[in-house]
């Protein structure tokens, strides 16, 4: 966080030593010193953000949405499997989705549905959706998420905007609120999380630029001492990092992207209003996050992750979906249409999914239970060939009957959209061993090329 004031050990002029040191060792996930400086130098002092850079928006649906009630309805199945909803036609002949998604049905030509996603585990967390991998066989430090990889390999578009931003709000079950970890790439590539407190800390709060500049030498002295006693070398180069920290502090670009009051009221109305209250141990329905994600990638972010509502419906599955699906329909359709209207659809990829699917048979509480054997995924943008369905499940929606797709294949596709060849690009782990971006055997989906 970018904090100016604090509550401990104040200097005589009232500035907190503890918080001032936070600026010197700024943890703005993604604004890593060596990578940021290399990226800026290579671009001749900074690259203009906006149209032209590749980015991804990842929408995580915490809890595991029921695929057979959303994108893969089974009207020929027995009543105990079929559910309460009926399918509707979409803009693409032959593709049908849930009746509670009329807006998405109207833009199905701009989407890809994967109905045969396999390889999930029965774990309630966002890890596999953020990394494309399982915890099994993790190297020391853990697998990095896609946002961390992009931060490492591509760096920032603009020094004032972190390349990796996580919008997931706090939840009772925090594993669902994970915006993606840096893993073995280190905290320098962790996501910046602009929650309420974080947004306040990005304001100088009465400290003038002159006063801020006067403290550069003091910061250099403190960080020089820390670097001398740091045998690991992590503090190396912190003097230059300080310069970038001041650069972020004195720029309004990130704050402007987060300030939805600057958006056209008609656009705000298209995205709609959600529900800020957390649902049980899950998250709120923050419709504004769909718009914020678009504004952030337009400002220069490379990866924005968000988490929407709670989808772990062991009971009253259909009552909950009747509330959540219309909101998802409005927010997601507005995002996809917005990207097209603003000329960003070729550059920005969107992926929507949860950690697993739901059981074919409806239980005694009118809910569906965990079902990692198959689930669904929606893609949009990224220059992909849209208006199609990939894969199919069997009559009951419990197994992949055609074209099973792995999480790693979706990741390989997104990386290709982002200009990275998963067959060639590697990143070193903590031991220096080169690691490929996806699991062995995972290639980009040829259907969308």
Average the pLDDT over 130-152 and give the result: 96
Q: Which residues contact 232 (CB under 8 A, 6 or more apart)?
A: none
Q: What is the CA radius of gyration of the chain?
A: 23
- Structure confidence by residue, pLDDT tens digits, 35-93: 444 443 343 333 334 456 999 999 999 999 999 999 999 999 999 999 999 999 999 99
Question: What angle, 0 to 180 degrees and rounded to 10, lies between the N-to-C axes of helices 146-154 and 33-42?
Answer: 50
| Mean residue pLDDT across the chain | 84
The domains of the chain are located at: 1-30+205-249, 45-195+252-448
> What is the rounded distance in angstroms from the CA atom of residue 163 to the CA atom of residue 174?
23
Q: How far is CA 324 from CA 14, 278, 332, 352, in A?
A: 48, 13, 12, 14
Give 307's strand partners: 60
Q: What is the pLDDT of residue 160?
A: 86
Q: Is the pLDDT of residue 197 over 80?
A: no
CATH architecture of 45-195+252-448: 3-Layer(aba) Sandwich (3.40)
**Reduced to 3 states, what is the DSSP secondary structure of residue 212?**
helix
CB 180 within 8 A of CB 126: yes
Q: Which residues contact 434 (CB under 8 A, 6 or more apart)?
A: 426, 427, 428
> What is the rounded (10 degree) CA torsion for 115, 356, 58, 41?
-110
Q: What is the pLDDT of residue 28?
A: 40
314 DSSP 8-state letter? S
Q: Which residues contact 360 (CB under 8 A, 6 or more apart)?
A: 68, 74, 77, 81, 368, 371, 396, 397, 398
**Reduced to 3 states, what is the DSSP secondary structure of residue 350?**
strand
Lowest mean pLDDT among 189-198, 204-213, 230-239: 230-239
- Structure confidence by residue, pLDDT tens digits, 228-272: 444 444 444 344 345 445 545 557 788 899 999 999 999 999 999
- Structure confidence by residue, pLDDT tens digits, 20-29: 333 333 434 4
CB 87 within 8 A of CB 97: yes
Q: How far is CA 184 from CA 43, 254, 439, in A?
A: 27, 27, 16
Q: Is the pLDDT of residue 31 over 90?
A: no
Q: Is the pLDDT of residue 170 over 90?
A: no
CB 29 within 8 A of CB 192: yes
Please state the pTM of the whole predicted model: 0.83
> What is the rounded distance in angstroms from the CA atom of residue 295 to the CA atom of residue 253?
11
Q: What is the pLDDT of residue 203?
A: 58
């Amino acid at each position: 966080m970018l904090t100016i004031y604090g509550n401990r050990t104040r200097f005589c002029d009232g500035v907190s030593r503890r918080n001032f040191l936070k600026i010197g060792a700024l943890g703005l996930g993604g604004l890593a010193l060596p990578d940021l400086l290399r990226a800026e130098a290579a671009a001749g002092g900074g690259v203009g953000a906006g149209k032209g850079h590749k980015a991804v928006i990842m929408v995580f649906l915490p809890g595991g949405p029921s695929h057979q009630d959303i994108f893969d309805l089974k009207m020929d199945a027995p009543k105990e499997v079929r559910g309460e909803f009926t399918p509707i036609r979409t803009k693409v002949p032959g593709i049908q989705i849930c009746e509670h998604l009329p807006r998405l049905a109207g833009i199905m030509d701009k989407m890809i549905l994967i109905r045969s996603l396999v390889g999930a585990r029965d774990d309630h967390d966002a890890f596999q959706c953020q990394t494309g991998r399982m915890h099994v066989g993790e190297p020391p430090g853990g697998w990095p998420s896609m946002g961390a990889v992009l931060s490492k390999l591509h760096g920032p578009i603009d020094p004032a905007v972190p390349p990796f931003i996580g919008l997931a709000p706090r939840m009772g079950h925090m594993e669902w609120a994970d915006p993606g970890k840096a893993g073995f790439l280190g905290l320098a590539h962790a996501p910046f999380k602009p929650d309420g407190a974080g947004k306040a800390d990005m304001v100088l709060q009465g400290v003038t630029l002159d006063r801020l500049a006067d403290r550069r030498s003091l910061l250099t002295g403190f960080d020089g001492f820390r670097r001398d006693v740091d045998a690991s070398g992590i503090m190396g180069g912190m003097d230059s990092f300080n310069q970038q920290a001041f650069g972020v502090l004195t720029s309004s670009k990130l704050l402007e992207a987060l300030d939805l009051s600057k958006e056209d009221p008609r656009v705000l109305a298209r995205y709609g209003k959600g529900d800020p209250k957390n649902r049980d141990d899950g998250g709120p329905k923050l419709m504004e996050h769909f718009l914020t994600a678009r504004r952030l990638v337009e400002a220069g972010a490379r990866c924005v992750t968000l988490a929407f509502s709670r989808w772990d419906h062991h009971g009253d599955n259909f009552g909950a979906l009747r509330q959540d699906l219309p909101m998802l329909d409005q927010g997601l359709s507005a995002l996809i249409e917005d990207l097209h209207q603003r000329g960003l659809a070729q550059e920005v990829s969107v992926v929507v999914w949860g950690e697993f699917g739901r059981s074919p048979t409806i239980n005694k509480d009118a809910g569906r239970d965990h079902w990692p054997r198959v689930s669904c995924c929606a893609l949009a943008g990224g220059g992909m060939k849209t208006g199609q369905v990939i894969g199919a499940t069997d009559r009951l929606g419990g197994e992949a009957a055609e074209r099973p797709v792995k999480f790693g294949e979706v990741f390989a596709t997104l990386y290709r959209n982002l200009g990275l060849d998963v067959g060639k690009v590697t990143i070193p782990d903590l031991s220096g061993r080169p690691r490929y971006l996806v699991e062995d055997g995972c290639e980009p989906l040829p259907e969308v090329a």
